[in-house]
Amino acid sequence: MPATARDCAAGVLCRVEADRAFAAAVLDTSLHRSGLDARDRALATELVYGVLRAAPSLDAALGRFARDGAASLAKLDPLTRAALRVAAYQILALERIPARAAVDAAVETVKRSRTPKLAGFANAVLRKLADARPTPLPPDARLMLALGAFPAEARTRIAAVLGDDGCERHLRAALADDRVVTLRVNTCATPRDVVVARLRSELPNASVAEGRVSPLAVRVSGGGDPAGWSVVKEAVAAVQEEGAQGVALMAGLRPGMRVLDVCAGRGGKSAAAAVVMEGKGTIHAVDLHPDKLARLREAVGAMGFGDGLKVETHAADVTRGFGRLPSGTYDAVLVDAPCSGLGTLGHRPDALWRLRDAGGWRDLVVMQAQILANASARVAPGGTLVYAVCTLDAEEGDGVVRRFLDGAAEFRAVAAGEGVPERLRGERVVLDAASDETDGFMMWRMVRGG
């Protein structure tokens, strides 16, 4: 088990690089087993996400002091490379941590886990980097490292949607690392303003505000681990990013509807739909992973809607069909398709690590088109189809939908009216971090002719 926050961070980063593991899942498991106190858990989290955002910038800085430049780092094993990056991030981004402490900790990690020769290399490179550290560090050092590391292709894709200035504003807002936690409030049980008041009383040092896009959202900054908040323990509220709440809100759901949640994951869309439907109706949720569906049933069940809400889950690969899901159509079908995650890189910076070649992008678009086509067959005449991706890539959003509409004459894009939050009423909605304080999303609302 990791002895320190730095060891924890290096171990997580090693897994992310070597196994292409998901950082959030690996970090959660490591922290749970670590025995670290709250302060060290927070440091480990910052180190993991800070390094993931800034890795190319950190490698370039380290390479200045290695004999063969960046090639020296490329030859290292993943754990040694992770330890050097963790130290470099502390040196270049965290004023509060003495540079010597960061160097000594990394050298000790490499010495303990690898060879004295590697430890000597780490010591030499990191001490030179520490000697070159600006004093004081610029106040936006973390942001500058992240912006400098952001891949050019990803930036180009986002700029094609938002424009160059919009892309820059979005990236600055998304990579600011302000640790905002967004909750989805079960307003059927407790009004949002009551939840805000409770949180402000319970977390006097935190910033608590209502969301800007979703009427169910509450944003909390500086409140620590949400698992300890009373409204979360009581299932009055649950963690869900505000833009993700919009997928269900955009559909214009009403009590008594039949809803199909495609690519349902752990149930955020289903839970939001249940609230909008006031706990009355039917929700069928489909996902590839049975373990996620088990968490969905638990999460929606904890909301206490009773017999008025019927929830069923079905495991299926939606690119091939719906497996054992009963035949029939739905008043609304929600598709939150797997995507590149370009809109989530502020808190999921490891997403780009799994898209290292153009083939990855092409495969996603093919999969998205298959899912949308299969989901559309389950929309009742007059019913609504919402397609959403948490990306700001036109190829995965606009391109997939427009090709679908070209071949599906019975569907048309239709803006929503009353009953849908104003920001989500368009037939096509783009959310971004600068304008909406959300993840980046592209959403389309379509209706099947009756």
Q: What share of the chain is helix, strand, coil (3-state, %, to 5)?
A: 50, 15, 30
Q: Give yes or no for a contact between 163 and 221, defined as CB atoms under 8 angstroms apart.
A: no
What is residue 401's three-state secondary structure? helix
Amino acid letter at 416? A
262 sits in which H/E element: strand 258-262
Residue 140 has what pLDDT? Answer: 93
Report the residue count for the chain: 450
- Tally of CB atoms within 10 A around 402: 13
d(CA 375, CA 256): 21
Residue 348 has what pLDDT? Answer: 87
d(CA 341, CA 355): 10
| Domains identified in the chain and CATH numbers | 5-149 (1.10.940.10), 180-239 (3.30.70.1170), 242-448 (3.40.50.150)
Closest Cα to residue 425, out of 267, 251, 304? 251
Q: Give yes or no for a contact between 8 and 44, defined as CB atoms under 8 angstroms apart.
A: yes
Count Cβ atoms within 10 A of the Cβ of residue 33 and give its class: 0-12 exposed, 13-18 middle, 19 or more buried: exposed
Amino acid letter at 163? G
Look-up of token digits 């929309």:
379
Laid out side by side, the sheet with 180-185 consists of 207-210, 217-221, 180-185, 237-239
Residue 10 has what pLDDT? Answer: 96
For 297-306, what is each residue's pLDDT tens digit?
999 999 999 9
Residue 361 has what pLDDT? Answer: 78
* DSSP result, 223-253: ---GGGSHHHHTTSEEE--HHHHHHHHTTT-
Counting as low any pLDDT under 50, the low residues of the chain are: none
